């Protein structure tokens, strides 16, 4: 039970006693009123356990929750049409990789994938369970223009979210993801930051109320030529707002995961930061803004090359942290996999081996043990796309 301090009303009655004309002033007294705080209810214990299991040593998240349109772009890069059969074939390759659970503890799925099965009829959710990987689900409905802003966006999807989360839970999902973005070249405006923070907080509260651990993801886009100091300044403003509204919405911090951007210079900045510099600025942000009650920080790669994302994560794990500092990568786990596969059945085994290589590399980085040796040139290629949509 929380307590709230209430001031006495302005009247002749002060502290329950009548004021006597112009006599000595009497300081108003305060009374404590018990106000019930509603939290995640019957799911609280399960939420905390799910978050802990995902944030386990040497493990991170495989993000394969690209929309059908974005997945189509990936398939087009290897000459495949954007059909449900091709999307299913690619995701089957990823989700049936034997041994993946040694490095991956959670997989974020798109709604289509959550309900799909392999060509042999096994549900993808069951494939994940066999590897002890927790299924997750993307629940936002994408970005749209934010009226009154500097050409910025807001994330839609709160309407009907509770019923969708309840259905996803029945289908086997145990955590959720909601991605909103903040653009530094666009300001960002106070309106855009507040909208991003409030939307994330409402989503998180609704997800927890329906048994799903919410991944909270306000992505600071890499677009721009700003220095790393500017990224840190904006990120601090964003995360201050996010945690303020999370608290206002009574979100259980022990039952959430964060998916932030690393603090880097803008992609078009003239100077490239070292992994050590990125780690220094990113950890500074986390220590200033993230309560230690939060179990896991699962970084997004945001267009970094596969090797860059791994080296930066490794640099952040060279000393003890109050949270599990790990990864939730999409392109930084899949780029080499996709190019190895090329849509050919005879390449599936080689592509799965490539996935295990990247998953193991990031597992080692989470433990602070990644060396970067023997990486191929493909893994070193950057994947930044200006104005990237998911």
Q: Which residues are catalytic?
A: 217, 259
β 30-35/2-7 pair status = antiparallel
Structure tokens, 181: 């973005």
Which string of DSSP letters, residue by residue, matches 288-340?
HH--TT--EEEE--TT--HHHHHHHHHHHTSS--SSEEEEEESHHHHHHHHHH
In angstroms, what CA-CA distances link 330 with 219, 250, 336? 14, 30, 11
Burial state string for 4-28 with b = 16 or more CB within 10 A and e = fewer than 16:
eeeeeeeeeebeeeeeeeeeeeeee
Give the list of residues 6+ apart from residue 80 with CB closer than 8 angstroms, or none: 86, 343
What residues does 63 pair with on adjacent strands? 108
What's the length of the chain? 390
Q: In sequence order, what are the beta bridge partners of 324?
A: 296
The tokens describing 381, both together, are 């290629």
50, 134 contact by CB (below 8 A): yes
* CA nearest neighbour of 203 among 165, 153, 253: 165
Question: What is the Cα Rg of the chain in Å?
Answer: 23
């Amino acid at each position: 039970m929380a307590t709230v301090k209430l001031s006495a009303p302005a009247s002749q009655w002060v502290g329950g006693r009548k004021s006597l004309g112009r006599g000595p002033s009497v300081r108003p007294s305060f009374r404590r009123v018990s106000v019930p705080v509603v939290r995640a209810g019957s799911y609280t214990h399960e939420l905390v356990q799910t978050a802990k299991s995902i944030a386990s040593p040497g493990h991170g998240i495989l993000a394969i929750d690209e929309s059908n349109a974005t997945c189509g772009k990936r398939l087009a890069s290897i000459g495949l049409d954007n059909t449900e059969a091709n999307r299913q074939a690619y995701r089957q390759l990823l989700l049936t990789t034997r041994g993946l659970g040694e490095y991956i503890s959670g997989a974020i799925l798109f709604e289509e994938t959550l309900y799909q099965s392999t060509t042999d009829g096994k549900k993808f959710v069951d494939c994940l369970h066999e590897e002890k990987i927790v299924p997750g689900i993307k629940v936002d409905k994408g970005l749209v223009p934010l009226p009154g802003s500097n050409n910025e966006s807001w994330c839609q999807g709160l309407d009907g979210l509770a019923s969708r989360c309840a259905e996803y839970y029945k289908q086997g999902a145990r955590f959720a993801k909601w991605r909103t973005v903040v653009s530094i070249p666009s300001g960002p405006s106070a309106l855009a930051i507040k909208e991003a923070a409030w939307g994330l907080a409402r989503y998180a509260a609704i997800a927890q109320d329906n048994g799903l651990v919410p991944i909270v993801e306000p992505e600071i886009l890499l677009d721009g030529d700003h220095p790393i100091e500017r990224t840190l300044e904006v990120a601090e403003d964003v995360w201050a707002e996010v945690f303020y509204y999370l608290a206002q919405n009574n979100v259980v911090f022990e039952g959430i995961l964060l998916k932030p951007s690393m603090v880097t210079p803008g992609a078009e900045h003239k100077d490239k930061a070292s992994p050590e510099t990125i780690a220094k600025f990113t950890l500074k942000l986390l220590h200033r803004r993230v309560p230690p009650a939060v179990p896991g920080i699962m970084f997004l790669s945001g267009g970094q090359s596969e090797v860059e994302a791994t080296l930066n994560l490794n640099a952040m794990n060279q000393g003890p942290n109050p949270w599990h500092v790990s990864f939730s990568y999409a392109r930084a786990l899949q780029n080499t996999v996709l190019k190895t596969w090329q849509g050919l059945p005879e390449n599936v085994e080689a592509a799965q081996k490539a996935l295990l290589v990247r998953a193991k590399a990031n597992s080692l980085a989470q433990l602070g043990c990644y060396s970067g040796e023997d990486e191929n040139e493909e893994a070193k290629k950057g994947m930044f796309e200006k104005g990237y949509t998911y």
